[in-house]
């Protein structure tokens, strides 16, 4: 049996997040266009006397180290299904911001699942892995597959999308996090009494992705949760404005936020936007990266 397995898993940005009305189960139907970006967590699993989690990285102090951690839940569920005691040490090398709208916890769930599958030799099918991911959270299946995908239902039912080129991004990390359920609740509050249309993927946006056309993608991006995120975190408007002023083709909140995402024409322009954001004093830190990125990968 292999003694240690490391899996690398990407963060995501939502280039379209169309949100429908609240469902009876408390979730919202989405047309969620995910794009995996080159910021990664690495999840390493090693046999141990009992299940234990450690985490290192700039945001490590905010990561729960008990059984509520999505990585722990993934190991427990795979073990339960295959009659294996999930006695592993899971170490998360965390580079994805926590509670930032970039699916960092989801990445760790998908990473731990793939890592334990390899460590234990369970050889679970792709469908079984995707099913466990969907039970763990709406974003977790996409962390497994990476690339680009349209997520419908609550975002867990995926269709892979073609991406015809490399997109350059700048991400600005905020001084504090935002809770995903709180942002959806604010969306409901702001839409109370209004008819919320069925969420539909934008054909212009899918075409822009397929062509690798950053200008067209910038014109098509949208995030229905952005007004709710801005309502709970108004200072994000200053970060968005600073990136736009520095030449970003598009500026938007990533998912439920509060990380803000800036699409740039090329690597040079991304560097200039990043510099301007750092100088603006409107965010905690800034990263540049490219997309698409591969899904969970055993190293
Ligand atoms: C908003 C998005 C966009 O990709 O990502 P983040 O910004 O959190 O990264 C996702 O929909 C987040 O997915 P995820 O973080 O996996 O959420 P889940 O654990 O499934 O659900 C957490 C809570 O968010 C709300 N929720 C989530 C998904 C959805 N389609 N409708 C919802 O209303 C519900 O209140 C739910 O209880
Ligand atoms: N492995 C994990 N890494 C980060 N957060 C986790 C993890 N497992 C559970 N969580 C919980 O999930 C919450 C949302 O975290 P995260 O997935 O980073 O943000 P988002 O849902 O905004 O993309 C955190 O505040 C934390 O309480």
Distance from C-alpha of 254 to C-alpha of 103, rounded to nearest angstrom: 10
Q: Candidates 51, 98, 260: which one to mutate for ligand 2, based on the most atoms within 8 Å of Cβ?
A: 98
Annotated ligand binding at 105? The verdict is yes
In this structure, what token pair is assigned to residue 125? 């099918």
* Phi–psi pair at 59, nearest 5 degrees: -105, 15
Region 62-75: mean pLDDT is: 97
Q: Give the ligand 1 atom nearest the CA of 255.
A: 7
Q: How far is CA 252 from the centre of its chain?
A: 14
**pTM as predicted:** 0.97
User: How would residue 204 be classed by pLDDT, with cut points 50, 70 and 90?
Assistant: very high
Kindly list the catalytic residues: 12, 139
**Which residue CA neighbors atom 6 of ligand 1 most closely?**
101
Residue 113 is given by DSSP the state H
> What band does 2 get if pLDDT is binned at 50, 70 and 90?
low
User: Which regions of the chain carry the CATH code 3.30.70.890?
Assistant: 167-291
pLDDT average, residue stretch 96-117: 97
Which ipTM was obtained for this model? 0.97
Buried b or exposed e, range 18-54, using 16+ CB within 10 angstroms: bbbebeeeeebbbbbbbbbbbbbbbbbbbeeeebebe
Distance from residue 217's CA to the centre of ligand 2 (Å):
28
Distance CA 118, CA 297 (A): 11
What is the mean pLDDT of the segment spanning 180-191? 98
- Expressed in angstroms and rounded, the spacing between residue 292 Cα and the centre of ligand 2 is 22
What is the reported pLDDT for 1? 53
Determine how many CB atoms are found less than 10 A away from the CB of residue 241.
13
CA-closest residue to ligand 1 atom 30: 154
Those residues whose C-beta lies under 8 Å from the C-beta of residue 242, and which sit 6 or more positions away, are: 276, 277, 280, 282
Residue 76 pLDDT class (50, 70, 90 cuts): very high
What tens digit of pLDDT does each residue of 212-224 get? 999 999 999 999 9
Q: Residues of 144-181 as b/e, b for ≥16 C-beta within 10 angstroms? A: bbbbbbbbbebbbbbeebebeeebbbbbbbbeebbebe
The neighbour count for residue 216, using CB atoms within 10 Å, is 15
Residue intervals of the chain classified under CATH 3.30.230.10 are 5-161
CA 39-184-264 angle, 5° bins: 35
Structure tokens at 57: 């990285």
Work out whether the CA dihedral 142, 145, 146, 150 comes out positive or negative: negative
151 annotated ligand binder: no
Give the architecture-level CATH label for domain 5-161: 2-Layer Sandwich (3.30)
Atom 9 (ligand 2) nearest CA: 69
pLDDT at 247 exceeding the cut of 80: yes
pLDDT confidence band for 234 (50 / 70 / 90)? very high
What does the pLDDT average to over 220-233? Answer: 98
Ligand 2 atom at minimum distance from 257 CA: 22
In angstroms, the CA 50 to CA 147 distance is 34
| Residue 100 confidence class, pLDDT cut points 50, 70, 90 | very high
Point out the ligand nearest to the CA of residue 91: 2
Count CB-CB contacts under 10 A for residue 205.
21
Q: Is 102 annotated as a binding residue?
A: yes
- pLDDT reported for residue 280: 98
What residues line ligand 2, using a CB cutoff of 6 Å?
63-64, 69-71, 92, 98-106, 108, 180, 256
- pLDDT tier, 84 (very low <50, low <70, confident <90, very high otherwise): very high
Mean pLDDT value across residues 232-238: 98
242 known ligand binder? no
Q: Which ligand is nearest to the CA of 99?
A: 2
Residues above pLDDT 70, as percent of the chain: 99
Element (H, E) at 214: helix 214-220
* pLDDT at residue 69, rounded to an integer: 98
Would strands 5-22 and 222-223 be described as parallel, antiparallel, or unpaired? Answer: parallel
Query: How many other C-beta atoms lie within 10 A of the C-beta of residue 236?
Result: 24
Q: Is the CATH number of domain 167-291 3.30.70.890?
A: yes
Is the CA virtual torsion 124, 126, 128, 130 positive or negative? positive
Test site for ligand 1: of 180, 184, 259, most ligand atoms within 8 A of the Cβ: 180
Task: Measure 266 CA to ligand 2 centroid, in angstroms.
Answer: 31
Q: What is the pLDDT of residue 276?
A: 98
């Amino acid at each position: 049996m292999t003694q240690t397995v490391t899996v690398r898993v990407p963060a995501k940005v939502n280039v379209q997040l169309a949100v429908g009305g609240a469902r009876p189960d408390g979730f919202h139907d989405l047309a969620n266009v995910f794009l995996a970006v080159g910021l990664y967590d690495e999840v390493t699993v090693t046999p141990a006397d009992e299940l234990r989690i450690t985490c290192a990285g700039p945001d490590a102090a905010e990561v729960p180290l008990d059984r509520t951690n999505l990585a722990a839940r993934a190991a427990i569920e795979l073990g339960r299904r295959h009659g294996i005691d999930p006695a592993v040490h899971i170490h998360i090398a965390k580079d994805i911001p926590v509670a930032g709208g970039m699916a960092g916890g989801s990445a760790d769930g998908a990473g731990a699942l793939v890592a334990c599958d390899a460590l234990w030799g369970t050889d679970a099918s792709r469908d079984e892995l995707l099913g466990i991911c969907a039970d763990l959270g709406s974003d977790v299946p996409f962390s497994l597959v990476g690339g680009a995908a349209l997520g419908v239902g609550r975002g867990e039912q995926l269709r892979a999308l073609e991406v015809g080129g490399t997109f350059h991004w700048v991400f600005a990390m905020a001084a504090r996090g935002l809770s995903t359920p709180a942002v959806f609740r604010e969306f409901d509050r702001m839409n109370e009494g209004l008819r919320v249309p069925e969420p539909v993927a934008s054909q212009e946006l899918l075409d822009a992705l397929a062509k690798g056309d950053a200008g067209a993608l910038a014109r098509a991006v949208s995030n229905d949760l952005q007004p709710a995120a801005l309502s709970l975190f108004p200072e994000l408007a200053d970060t968005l404005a600073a990136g736009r002023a520095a030449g970003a083709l598009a500026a938007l909140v990533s998912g439920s936020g509060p990380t803000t995402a800036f699409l740039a024409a090329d690597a040079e322009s991304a560097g200039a936007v990043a510099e301007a954001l750092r100088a603006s004093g409107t965010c905690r830190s800034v990263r540049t990266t490219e997309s698409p990125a591969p899904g969970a990968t055993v190293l």
